[in-house]
Chain A
Amino acid sequence: MKAMVGYCLFALSTIVPAILFPDNYYVTVVGVTICTNIVLAVSLNLLMGYAGQISLGHAAFFGLGAYSSAVLTVKYGIEPWIAMIAGAFMVAVISYILSRPILKLKGHYLAMATLGLGIIVHIFFVQADQLTGGPDGMSGLPVLTIFGIPIDNDIKWYWTFAIFMLLSVLFSLNIARSRSGRALAAVHGSEIAAQMLGVDTAKVKSHIFVFSAVLACITGSLFAHQQDFVSPESFGFFFSIELVTMVVLGGLGSTYGAVVGAIILSLLPELLIVFEDFEVLIFGAILMTIMIFLPQGLFVAMEQAFHNFMNRREQGAANATS
């Protein structure tokens, strides 16, 4: 019940600004970026937060989605929806094949493997210029139509992304309370204990890896259509790191934490732009400071502080009445 109230408030906060200010830069441009990043962070949180498996290459799946949409529609004239589904299917197969050997690894080795995967995919985008247009990228994607409505202006894109984002968040909230969510939590806590309790840990991890990858891939397809342009720059190592940062910044394992992290990291460049050359420096400093002093994440730390505050107040009230 309480969870539903929270979700409705969150949904309202995305809907109201769009109704009030449909032409505002912060809705149509920053808003879409925020929604994109939220879905990506939430999808990465499924893997990192719920299952406890670090990934430094998540941008690769986002990129594969964007490029499969771009290449299939522009080069081969395939319908946008079919291209999107084909991309998702391809990523599902690739991530399923890779999931078992990759997720056998732990800690720094897992970090290295996912990082390597991300970099290989990025180099492929740059080098396979016959297919991808190389470093210059490619543009000219057809307009996406949803239920007969062509998505051809900024505010329609905002609604598309907002709805997609709200569905993903809802899904992520629910998965934590499902049977597979509890299996994931068990894997996160102790893989061996989970095995002892009869959880097929390899299967659970592989499923969530595939799921997380496909969600990122679909986001990539939407992103490609919305931007009407893809280039390798958007899907590099640095973006993977930014995604991990979003998840950890908000609080690993908390869906709203990932949401908060994504919002902060999307807004930060907008705010830091006034510092011009100091932007990179300040970004690094903020990242370090938060991680050093609030390693559990901003959102989770705030949540804990709020709970402590409420508990103390209840205790105070109880003491006063007795």
Chain B
Amino acid sequence: MLPPIRNKIMDQLLQFLISGLTVGSIYALVALGFSIIYNASDVVNFAQGEFVMIGAMSAIFLLKDGMPYPAAVFCAIAITVLVGLALDKFAIEPAKNATVVTTIIITIGASIFLRGAALLIWGKEIYGLPPFSGDKPIVIGNATILPQNIWVMVGTGAAVLAVKYFFDKTLMGKAIMACSYNKKAAFLVGINVKQMLLVSYGLSAALGAAAGVLVAPITFMSYNSGVMLGLKGFCAAILGGMGSSMGAVAGGLLLGIIETIGAGFISSGYKDAIAFFVILVVLFIRPSGILGKAESDRV
């Protein structure tokens, strides 16, 4: 039997672990989206957070307009995928040969544009989705877990496995991987590189939208909720080593847990600062992320 004080800390830790894994799952999905686009086109897509926002807001408003829940979710993801395809077609593809800084500004421009559009369509108010299946907390030991937390974790797990299957087992997934290794070689063996880029943007947008729909019942959403989520996703992707898909997922979960524990034991006001502090320390010690390969420049 543990002494009471330690017991209390253990209970708290368990509770933090649950919320940390929930938030971390969302970061993982955003980070996975980052790394898919980064792999396919060497672009860090700063509009990734906007995918999350668009997914969530579309679902909220379709549901409001009387669409059944599953259909609203499906349509919301479809809308976001269209936005992702448009982003590639109208912003990334025309700017070929752009430098890292230029592409960063283009995607930031795109994120501002999308936020502006969301502001026009949905206004400034905050909205939430009803939980997928009730809001009766489930008690585990001395901690509680909401059904929606389970949905988030299971949904993320399923999405990650699906992505992994897609890249490991399907022809199209392998073709995208080929593009990320060497575009010219991929083109020479008959892969339609442009189309593969388009698919990666669509896939990445779908993951973002899924994250948005999953998290909307837990945190409220508004037209500018995507910014922080996007930045945290970027954080997670870097933490796991940019370009490594499973690294991004691990980075997301780790970031979520560190952040929640930090907020719980240190200060909730500094919650976001803790995440960025961790990333700075990691970058200073291991400049290529935890799971990333050490890079060496070709001269």
A binding-site residues for B, Cβ under 8 Å: 48, 54, 56, 101-102, 104-109, 111-113, 115-117, 119-120, 123-124, 126-127, 190, 192, 237, 241, 244-245, 248, 252, 277-288, 291-293, 295
Docked-complex contact B109 and A111, CB < 8 angstroms = no
Complex CA distance for A291 and B225, rounded to whole angstroms: 25
Q: For residue A241, which residues in chain B have a CB less than 8 angstroms away from its CB?
A: 108
Q: Please report which residues of chain B, range 96-112, place their CB below 8 angstroms from some CB of chain A when the two chains form the complex.
A: 97-102, 104-106, 108-112
Q: For residue B104, which residues in chain A have a CB less than 8 angstroms away from its CB?
A: 54, 56, 111, 244
Q: How far in angstroms is the closest Cβ of chain A from B180?
A: 15
Answer whether residue B119 sits at the interface, using C-beta atoms and an 8 A cutoff. Answer: yes
Please name the residue on chain A nearest to B287 by beta carbon. Answer: A105
Q: For residue A119, which residues in chain B have a CB less than 8 angstroms away from its CB?
A: 231, 272-273, 276
Known pairs A113-B279, A127-B269, A281-B116; list 4 more (Cβ under 8 Å).
A101-B284, A112-B238, A281-B117, A283-B112
- Which of A111, A124, A284, A291 is in CB contact (< 8 Å) with B111? A284
Q: For residue B172, which residues in chain A have a CB less than 8 angstroms away from its CB?
A: none
Docked-complex contact A292 and B106, CB < 8 angstroms = yes
Q: Please report which residues of chain B, range 263-298, place their CB below 8 angstroms from some CB of chain A when the two chains form the complex.
A: 267, 269-270, 272-273, 276-277, 279-280, 283-284, 287-289, 295, 297
Docked-complex contact A278 and B116, CB < 8 angstroms = yes
Complex CA distance for A127 and B268, rounded to whole angstroms: 10
Please name the residue on chain A nearest to B108 by beta carbon. Answer: A241
21 contacts between A and B (CB under 8 A): A54-B101, A102-B284, A108-B38, A108-B242, A109-B289, A112-B234, A112-B283, A117-B276, A119-B273, A237-B227, A245-B105, A245-B108, A278-B116, A282-B116, A284-B109, A285-B113, A287-B108, A288-B91, A288-B106, A288-B110, A291-B102
Q: How far in angstroms is the closest Cβ of chain A from B86?
A: 12
Q: How far in angstroms is the closest Cβ of chain A from B268?
A: 10
Complex CA distance for A248 and B99, rounded to whole angstroms: 11
Answer whether residue B299 sits at the interface, using C-beta atoms and an 8 A cutoff. Answer: yes
- Which of A105, A248, A278 is in CB contact (< 8 Å) with B102? A248
Docked-complex contact A117 and B242, CB < 8 angstroms = no
Please name the residue on chain B nearest to A244 by beta carbon. Answer: B105
Complex CA distance for A244 and B103, rounded to whole angstroms: 12
Docked-complex contact A109 and B288, CB < 8 angstroms = yes
Complex CA distance for A252 and B113, rounded to whole angstroms: 23
Docked-complex contact B280 and A117, CB < 8 angstroms = yes
- Which of A126, A192, A248, A292 is in CB contact (< 8 Å) with B94? A292
Interface on chain A toward B: helix, strand, loop, or mixed SS? helix
Please name the residue on chain B nearest to A114 by beta carbon. Answer: B280
Docked-complex contact A127 and B113, CB < 8 angstroms = no
Complex CA distance for A241 and B109, rounded to whole angstroms: 10
Complex CA distance for A288 and B117, rounded to whole angstroms: 14
Answer whether residue B114 sits at the interface, using C-beta atoms and an 8 A cutoff. Answer: yes
Docked-complex contact B120 and A295, CB < 8 angstroms = no
Please name the residue on chain A nearest to B275 by beta carbon. Answer: A116
Docked-complex contact A295 and B113, CB < 8 angstroms = no
Docked-complex contact B280 and A280, CB < 8 angstroms = no
Complex CA distance for A232 and B267, rounded to whole angstroms: 19
Docked-complex contact B280 and A113, CB < 8 angstroms = yes
Q: Please report which residues of chain B, range 56-108, place their CB below 8 angstroms from some CB of chain A when the two chains form the complex.
A: 91, 94-95, 97-102, 104-106, 108
Docked-complex contact B279 and A112, CB < 8 angstroms = yes
Please name the residue on chain A nearest to B100 by beta carbon. Answer: A107
Instruction: Report, nearest first, the 9 A-B pairs whose CB atoms are least far apart.
Output: A284-B113, A281-B116, A280-B116, A287-B109, A284-B112, A116-B276, A288-B109, A123-B273, A101-B284
Q: For residue B94, which residues in chain A have a CB less than 8 angstroms away from its CB?
A: 292-293
Q: For residue A104, which residues in chain B have a CB less than 8 angstroms away from its CB?
A: 287
Answer whether residue B44 sits at the interface, using C-beta atoms and an 8 A cutoff. Answer: yes
Q: For residue A127, which residues in chain B have a CB less than 8 angstroms away from its CB?
A: 267, 269-270, 273
Please name the residue on chain B nearest to A110 by beta carbon. Answer: B283
- Which of B110, B112, B273, B299 is in CB contact (< 8 Å) with A280? B112
Q: For residue B299, which residues in chain A have a CB less than 8 angstroms away from its CB?
A: 190, 192
Docked-complex contact B283 and A105, CB < 8 angstroms = yes
